[in-house]
């Protein structure tokens, strides 16, 4: 598929016409296009080449590189401006200026001074910074546009920005501009990552390669329109190909991978790092809030789980009671079977173990003593409150009920024994009385 977007049908390729302003996207300025500026990625035709060639073919008036180096060496080592010991002080001053990369080095009365810039070989204020290599491919079509505007302004007028960029691309209906991401940069600048989708007549679509889109943005007329929108820089966001990596390793530049020369570049790098640190901190704050919310949800969920467990246990006990009553009714009128007799023996054994003084009964009595002590202390300190679990309280009541029943049964046995003893005493008394009458 050829990636060539010509002018709409009915327009002339040679006649120039000024298009209407960008409309509602006034915050980014107006764009002027020509009817002949087709969205073609071929190299733009340059006019006036002969005149420009004649202009640049004039001999340069600046000193040659060799003479520049000689003058610089003279300014740093052996100036002859004053002709006395002050020239040595001047040489040290020139060295200091060369080290920090700014100033003029005077060394002779007959030759102009040397201009020290940050690019001179003696500048010491240089460093190397490292940037993360992008992992996007050229087919992804990601192009970065840096706007000289704040992020809030870009986001509030994002739709107008998309429409303006579509007009910059010729207004072709087969093209769609999409925003991949927006990020804040230092000095009130904003980075906008875009890509363009091209739809073919057969219904398929593809992304315009990043290098192709970037080449179109770098054309002189298109670049002017982007500047009117507030774009200060455009670049592709693509990874290096294996061939580019190999070439970079075979012929490395003087400073790799990112040279930083002078305080201005160092300050820019520092601002970028500070901006990224703020973004990371903002993201960490969001993550911290999410973690706090998850912890709250976890606490609520754990409380609900504990509540549901208690409810499940209560329902299990109620279900067991229903099953017991149902089984009793079902087995009513039948003789006790062998397995039921065995189960009854096991239950009696467990009951005996529970009622043993040295086993659970003693622990239960100890627990009751502690409860009474706590109630006594609670009367002294009315602000303290103690609560017993419902299941435990139910078991205590059941045990006390069994104890009460046992005591009632014991009392009835004692009463029966007392009545028997009274009958025995009465019989003995009558026997003694009869015998006494006989012997008298």
Dihedral in degrees, nearest 10, Cα atoms 76, 82, 86, 92: -10
Dihedral in degrees, nearest 10, Cα atoms 38, 39, 41, 42: 0
Q: What is the pLDDT of residues 266-296, one digit of tens each?
A: 888 888 888 889 989 999 999 999 999 999 9
Per DSSP, the three-state class of 359 is coil
Flag whether pLDDT at 93 surpasses 90: yes
Mean pLDDT, residues 162-190? 90
378: enclosing H helix or E strand? helix 360-380
- Count H helices and E strands in the chain, helices first: 12, 11
Q: Report the chain's mean pLDDT, rounded to a whole number.
A: 78
List CB contacts of 153: < 8 A, sequence separation 6 or more.
27, 190
Q: What confidence score (pLDDT) does residue 384 get? A: 52
Flag whether pLDDT at 26 surpasses 50: no
Phi, psi of 351, deg, nearest 5: -65, -40
The answer to whether 207 and 195 are in contact (CB under 8 A) is yes
DSSP for 68-92, please give it.
HHHHHHHHHH---SSSSTHHHHHHH
How open is the CA angle 304-305-306, to the nearest 5 degrees?
Answer: 90
Chain mean position to CA 64:
56
Q: What is the pLDDT of residues 333-377, one digit of tens each?
A: 777 788 888 888 888 888 887 777 666 777 777 888 888 888 776
Q: What is the pLDDT of residues 165-178, one digit of tens each?
A: 999 988 888 999 99
The lowest-confidence range among 188-192, 361-365, 391-395 is 361-365
CA atoms of 90 and 111, how far apart (whole Å)? 16
Flag whether pLDDT at 196 surpasses 90: yes
Pick the CATH number of 127-261 from 3.30.70.3310, 3.40.190.10, 3.40.50.150, 3.40.50.10800: 3.30.70.3310
**pLDDT, greater one: 203 or 300:** 300
Question: Which neighbouring-strand residues pair with 234?
Answer: 145
Which candidate, 47, 415, 402, places its Cα nearest to that of 221? 47
CA atoms of 239 and 134, how far apart (whole Å)? 5
Domain with CATH 3.30.70.3310 in the chain: 127-261
Flag whether pLDDT at 140 surpasses 50: yes
Q: pLDDT band at residue 245, thresholds of 50, 70 and 90? A: confident
The answer to whether 6 and 147 are in contact (CB under 8 A) is no
Residue with tokens 């000289």: 148
Q: pLDDT band at residue 12, thresholds of 50, 70 and 90? A: very low
CA atoms of 48 and 220, how far apart (whole Å)? 14
Per DSSP, the three-state class of 228 is helix
Residue 204 corresponds to which tokens in the numbers above?
């398929």
Flag whether pLDDT at 381 surpasses 60: no
CA atoms of 343 and 20, how far apart (whole Å)? 99
Residue with tokens 């075979």: 250
Mean pLDDT, residues 50-54? 34
The number of beta carbons lying within 10 Å of the beta carbon of residue 213 is 23
Instruction: Taking each helix axis as running N to C, give the angle between helix 210-217 and helix 220-228, from 0 to 180 degrees, rounded to the nearest 10.
Output: 80
Q: pLDDT band at residue 146, thresholds of 50, 70 and 90? A: very high
Q: What confidence score (pLDDT) does residue 393 get? A: 83
Q: pLDDT band at residue 315, thresholds of 50, 70 and 90? A: very high
Flag whether pLDDT at 4 surpasses 80: no
CA atoms of 338 and 155, how far apart (whole Å)? 84
First to last CA, the chain: 151
Q: pLDDT band at residue 190, thresholds of 50, 70 and 90? A: very high
The upper half-sphere exposure of residue 258, i.e. CA atoms within 13 Å in the direction of its Cβ, equals 9
Percent helix, strand, coil in the chain, to 5, is 55, 10, 35
Q: pLDDT band at residue 418, thresholds of 50, 70 and 90? A: confident
Residue 263 corresponds to which tokens in the numbers above?
């305080």
The residue count of the chain comes to: 440
Please, is 25 exposed, middle or buried when counting C-beta atoms within 10 Å of its C-beta (0-12, 13-18, 19+)?
buried
Residue 76 corresponds to which tokens in the numbers above?
């740093």
Q: What confidence score (pLDDT) does residue 344 get? A: 84
């Amino acid at each position: 598929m050829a990636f060539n977007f010509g002018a709409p049908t009915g327009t002339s390729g040679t006649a120039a016409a000024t298009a209407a302003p960008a409309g509602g996207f006034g915050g980014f300025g107006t764009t002027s296009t020509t009817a002949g500026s087709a969205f073609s990625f071929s190299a733009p035709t340059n006019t006036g080449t002969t005149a420009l060639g004649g202009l640049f073919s004039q001999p340069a008036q600046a000193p040659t590189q060799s003479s520049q180096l000689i003058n610089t060496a003279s300014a740093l080592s052996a100036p002859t401006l004053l002709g006395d010991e002050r020239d040595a002080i001047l040489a040290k001053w020139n060295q200091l200026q060369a080290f920090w990369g700014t100033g003029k080095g005077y060394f002779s009365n007959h030759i102009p001074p040397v201009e020290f810039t940050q690019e001179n070989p003696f500048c010491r204020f240089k460093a190397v910074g490292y940037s993360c290599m992008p992992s996007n491919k050229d087919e992804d079509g990601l192009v970065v546009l840096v706007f000289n505007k704040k992020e809030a302004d870009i986001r509030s007028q994002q739709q107008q920005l998309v429409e303006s960029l579509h007009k910059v691309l010729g207004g072709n209906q087969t093209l769609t501009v999409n925003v991949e991401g927006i990020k804040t940069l230092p000095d009130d600048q904003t980075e906008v990552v875009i890509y363009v989708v091209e739809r073919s007549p057969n219904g398929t679509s593809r992304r315009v390669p990043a290098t192709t889109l970037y080449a179109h943005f770098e054309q002189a007329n298109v670049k002017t329109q982007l500047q009117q929108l507030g774009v200060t820089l455009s670049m592709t966001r693509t990874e290096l190909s294996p061939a580019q990596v190999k070439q970079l390793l075979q012929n490395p530049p003087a400073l790799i991978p990112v040279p930083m020369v002078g305080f201005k570049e160092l300050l820019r790098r520092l601002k970028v790092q500070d901006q990224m640190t703020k973004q990371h901190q903002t993201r960490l704050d969001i993550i911290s809030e999410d973690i706090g919310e998850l912890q709250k949800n976890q606490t609520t969920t754990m409380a609900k789980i504990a509540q549901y467990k208690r409810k499940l246990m209560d329902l299990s006990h109620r279900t067991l009671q229903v099953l017991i009553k149902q089984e009793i009714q079902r087995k009513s009128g039948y003789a006790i079977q062998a397995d039921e007799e065995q189960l009854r023996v096991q239950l009696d054994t467990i009951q005996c173990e529970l009622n043993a003084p040295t086993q659970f009964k003693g622990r239960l009595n100890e627990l009751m003593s502690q409860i009474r002590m706590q109630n006594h202390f609670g009367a002294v300190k009315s602000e303290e409150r103690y609560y017993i679990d419902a299941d435990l309280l139910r078991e205590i009541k059941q045990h006390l009920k069994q104890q009460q029943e046992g005591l009632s049964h014991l009392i009835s046995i004692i009463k029966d024994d007392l009545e028997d003893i009274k009958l025995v005493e009465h019989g003995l008394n009558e026997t003694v009385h009869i015998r006494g009458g006989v012997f008298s």
